[in-house]
Amino acid sequence: MQGDAVGLTAARPVGGARRPRRGLGAAAMTAFGLLLVAGCQSPATTAQVAGAVQKQLPQAKIAVEPAPSVMGVRPDATVKVTATQGKLTSVVVTDSADAALPGTLSADGAAWTAGAKLRLDTHYWVRATAVDAHGLKTDEVTVFSTIKPKSLLTTSISPLSGQTVGVGMPIVVRLSDPVQNRAEVERGLTVTTSRPIEGSWRWISDDEVHFRPRVYWPAYTTVTLKVALAGIDAGKGVWGTKDRTVHFTVGASMVSIVDVNRLHMRVYRNGKLARNVPVTTGKAGFLTRNGIKVVSEKHVLKVMDASTIGISKGSPEYYRLEVPYALRVSNSGEFVHAAPWSVASQGGVRVSHGCVGMSMANAIWLFRQTHIGDVVQVTGSSRRLEPGNGWTDWNVPWSTWLEGSAV
């Protein structure tokens, strides 16, 4: 060892102690010194010094997905943080409002995965820490941002949550923007029921979709509609932003069948004939439309003005009446209502402008029994109900209805 010591002394420059080179860290100097002391038989090599220095630095590496500083990330993108040569000890992802994104860390600490969709038009900061086998820490901070949509997709739904409806009530979802990716939106709409049914969605247009069972809803069924559209790409820059849930109940089965030839209406409650009502229906030129209709409005008193159906005030057919106990069954103005002025004609002559009229007593009874969504089926008329003139879903054969689904 003496020869080595002399060599070290001779290597120092005259004028004082040896100074380390600039940029060589304390850990490197320590490692270098250890190698000199340990290397009694041969000088330390550059590779040995580098290896010793490397052992003093954190070995864990952190990778973040989406990549740092990426803009325009989809809200349904996977957010994942992984560690190699070590394990994660902390991952925190927060948005612009400092709200934390939930996630799960794997048992081995190798990966953290977000458990929720991202918000639109939002910056996210990822802060992660990992440790290597020697307990040395590595920290990583990155940021990314999500898509800024052209428009936000919202919904208007019938029936409303908490309502009790009739067995013919379709679920109607109206959308704030036309939908290009129908299948994506439809997959976000889930219907569950307390009684088993077979049902399906059908697109009425790009901004309206209906759900109905194959046959009328079972009476006294509870129905839940879950709308999960947050983060859904509807197409053309339109994105869903909110989820919602609607609960409603189906009441007693009320199905009224109007025979325009015999001029009576048979009302069935829960499958049993509850009342046979004499009625009048549309006269020549104003025939009541044939088909299955659904009650969409209830009015204790409804002002009916013939000008709304194209009859001018100068026409002998013009009328303006206050009509009691009126149940709307079409968008074009057909109602089932009390018509005390035509009692003498009810059951014998067609005198209305398309509505189904009955006595005050029968109208009051029916009004009190009826929910929005109850069924009124008109038979025997040569005038057909037009598609979309009210909730006309039950006039579509089931096989055809299924073809209107996007999934």
Q: Which residues are catalytic?
A: 337, 355
Residue 253, helix vs strand vs coil: coil
3-state secondary structure of 338: strand
The answer to whether the beta carbons of residues 256 and 375 sit under 8 Å apart is yes
Closest CA to 301 of 338, 264, 351: 338
CA distance linking residue 60 with residue 88, whole number of Å: 9
Q: How far apart, in whole angstroms, are the C-alpha atoms of residue 394 and residue 170?
A: 9
The three-point CA angle 182-185-186 to 5° equals: 80
Hey, what amino acid is at 109? G
Which of 131, 79, 74 is CA-nearest to residue 104? 79
393 CB burial (10 A radius; 0-12, 13-18, 19+): buried
Quote the tokens at residue 319: 């009328």
- Residue whose pair of structure tokens reads 């704030």 in the numeric block: 176
Cα–Cα distance measured from residue 180 to residue 206, given in angstroms and rounded to the nearest whole number:
7
Q: Do β-strands 233-235 and 254-259 pair in parallel, antiparallel, or remain unpaired? A: unpaired
CB proximity list for 383: less than 8 A, separation 6 or greater: 282, 287, 288, 289, 290
Nearest-angstrom CA–CA distance, 33 and 279? 110
Render 132-178 in DSSP notation, one character per residue: -TTS-EEEEEEEEEB---SEEE-EEEESPTT-EE-TTPPEEEEESS-
- Give me the phi and psi of 323, to 5 degrees please: -105, 120
